[in-house]
Amino acid sequence: MKLVAPPGLIRAIDHPVTRRIDERVAARVDERRGTNPLLDRSAYALSEAANHSLLWHGINAVDALVGGPRHRRAALRRSIILGVEQAVVNGPLKSTIERERPLAGPHDHPLRTPVTSSFPSGHASASACAATLLSRDLRMAPLWWGLAAAVAWSRVHVGVHHTSDVVAGAVVGRSLGRVAGLIWPPPRRSR
């Protein structure tokens, strides 16, 4: 049984204002792509590092290795939640909306070419979910949200997502991270 997207969501994605924003941002990014080699390399590298949430699982692994027993439990919890989040977003959620990805032309740096629907951005969703969980567990919210924003923006910069895909992905990821925190709270801090 295939899930069907709510008609209101389809109308919002296809709305002229949404399309106009996506087109204007894409045109600006296309003009600038290739003019700053450091920015281009960084965006491609960050986008690749975040494939399959590996960046976030790596952060969890470092926390587990250096943080002690409570950190190990919290890191494992975050990685399990991220795995579930990605299964939901890249499975049933993406299959409900078959949106084509933007065509960014040839890529100057290595980039895995996604074959799934463009909407919503799985990278942005995973990043927002991870930032939500990491901010709660480890504090330093500006660090995690800054990294999440950079990952999300990298997807627009490399040309594999529309801006609206990234915004929707961030909303989905933040929501799933908050719900997961209610269903499976982090381990209590010892005094």
Question: pLDDT of 151-181, one tens digit each?
Answer: 999 999 998 999 999 999 999 999 999 999 9
Domain count, the chain: 1
Please tell me the predicted confidence (pLDDT) of residue 24.
Answer: 95
Structure tokens at 131: 């930032």
Segments forming the whole domain that contains residue 139: 38-98+116-191
Model pLDDT for residues 65-113, shown as the tens digit of each residue: 998 888 999 999 999 999 999 999 998 888 888 888 887 666 677 677 7
Please tell me the predicted confidence (pLDDT) of residue 190.
Answer: 45
How does DSSP classify residue 120?
S
Q: pTM of this prediction?
A: 0.89
Separation of alpha carbons 111 and 113, rounded Å: 6
Cα→Cα distances 149→97, 123, 188, Å = 23, 10, 28
Count of C-beta atoms within a 10 Å radius of residue 50 = 25
Residue 182 inside a domain? The answer is: yes
Please tell me the predicted confidence (pLDDT) of residue 70.
Answer: 86
Residue 18 inside a domain? The answer is: no
Residue 63 inside a domain? The answer is: yes
Separation of alpha carbons 31 and 114, rounded Å: 23
CA atoms within 13 A on the CB side of 160: 24
Model pLDDT for residues 27-66, shown as the tens digit of each residue: 999 888 888 999 999 999 999 999 999 999 999 999 999 9
132, 181 Cβ separation under 8 angstroms: yes
Please tell me the predicted confidence (pLDDT) of residue 191.
Answer: 41
Element (DSSP H or E) covering residue 40? helix 37-49
Structure tokens at 149: 């924003």
Residue 1 inside a domain? The answer is: no
